[in-house]
A = this chain, B = another copy of it.
Amino acid sequence: MSDIDILISEVGPRDGLQSVKAIMPTEAKKAWINAEAAAGVREIEVASFVPPKLLPQMADAAEIVAHAKTIPGLDVVALVPNFKGAENAIRAGADKIGLPLSCSETHSQANLKKTHDQVIEDVRKISELLATLPADQRPGFEGSLSTAFGCTLEGEVPESQVIDLAVRLVEAGVDELSLSDTTGYANPTQLRHLIRLLRAEVGADKLDGVHLHNTRGLGLANVVAALEEGITTVDSSLGGLGGCPFAPGASGNIVTEDLVFMLDAMGLRTGIDLDKLLKVREIVIAALPDEDMYGFTPDAGLPKGYTAGGWGIG
């Protein structure tokens, strides 16, 4: 990614849509993904491979992945909760599969109905499956450390537990890790500290992405802290759609529009055209008329005279 500084990974079509009750029509999902890719978004988490009876919002996951794969230059990510989901995501052709491991075991049981040992065993089996594929057909495999900054069920989650699970995920075969503030508990100091500890333990190349929430308003402050630690991939959701339905009170992904405005104003290249991105909201609003779309920058507008690529220095 030599022509961009920060990779924004849009998670709205997965994380956002699985959190809302309404089912977005397949064609609207495709239009959303098309429009975001056309605005310059390079990576989109487009679907979750879970049983449709659990998440009917994701029943068209295979079709969505297949469609997204037709967009040149787009990295297509799918969430998988288990081995079966991974098989389906691989078959659909995802470029990357992500499996969440909740650092809080209570949350793991609530979210995936599995203990840590069971999730790690799934990861091992998925890695073995991936190893059987030809290199050019093998998706990347990311393990996401969710509830890494605290849990709405357990409270504080010890750093040592997060590190232990990170090591186990790497040993079980994931290519990379992502650090996830599922509950919106993280603060900049804690985030910096945990990134440093994790990288010291598993290697900086294994931890490149963060998934942060704005539940307590600290989302972008945490992004700034993460960037200063060298993180270069940041998840966000258009209109802030989504959150974790199994973590009561936790809602509000980082708003992609606000994130792109901040990074662009800071002179960091994302490859995303902010004006085009802001127009993508219309697709989501039309398809989900009963959902709130968040975002400070969309409400306030861009600064007077704003031009892309930095603001106010000089």
Q: Which of B183, B193, B313 contacts A190 (CB 8 A)?
A: B313
Main secondary structure of the interface of A (DSSP, over half): loop
Q: Does the CB pair B155–A304 fall under 8 Å?
A: yes
Q: A190-B312, A221-B220, A312-B159 are in contact. Are A303 and B185 (CB under 8 A)?
A: yes
CA distance A220 to B189 in the complex (A): 13
Instruction: Check A261–B156 contact: CB distance below 8 A.
Output: no
Does the CB pair B311–A185 fall under 8 Å? yes
Nearest-neighbour CB distance to chain B for A283, whole angstroms, equals 22
Q: Which residues of B contact A150 (CB under 8 A)?
A: 303-305, 311-312
Task: Determine if A267 is an interface residue (Cβ-Cβ < 8 Å).
Answer: yes
CB distance from A199 to the nearest CB of B (A): 16
| Segment of A44-52, A138-146, A210-218 engaged in the interface with chain B | A210-218
| Contact yes or no, A265 B187, CB < 8 A | yes
CA distance A150 to B310 in the complex (A): 13
Tell whether A238 is near chain B: CB-to-CB under 8 Å: no
Q: For the complex formed by this chain, how many copies does it contain in all?
A: 2
Q: Is the CB of B217 within 8 A of A185?
A: no
The 8 A CB mask of A246-275 against B (1 = contact, 0 = none) is 000111100100100110011100000000
A225 within 8 Å of B (CB atoms): yes
Question: Are B190 and A155 interface neighbours, CB within 8 A?
Answer: no
Q: Which residues from 150 to 205 on chain A have a C-beta closer than 8 Å to any C-beta of chain B?
A: 150-159, 183-190, 193-194
Contacts A150-B303, A217-B295, A296-B216; A313 near B267 (Cβ below 8 A): no
- Whether the pair B189, A261 counts as a contact (CB closer than 8 A) is no
Q: Which residue of B lies closest to A154 (CB)?
A: B304
Are B220 and A218 touching (Cβ within 8 A)? yes
Q: Does A1 contact B (CB under 8 A)?
A: no
Partner of A221, one of B157, B193, B221, B314: B221
Q: Are A218 and B303 in contact (CB under 8 A)?
A: no
In whole angstroms, what is the CA distance A193 to B314 when docked? 9
Contact (A220, B217) CB under 8 Å given A150-B311, A156-B311, A184-B300: yes
Closest 6 CB pairs of A and B: A155-B305, A217-B296, A187-B265, A190-B312, A220-B221, A189-B266
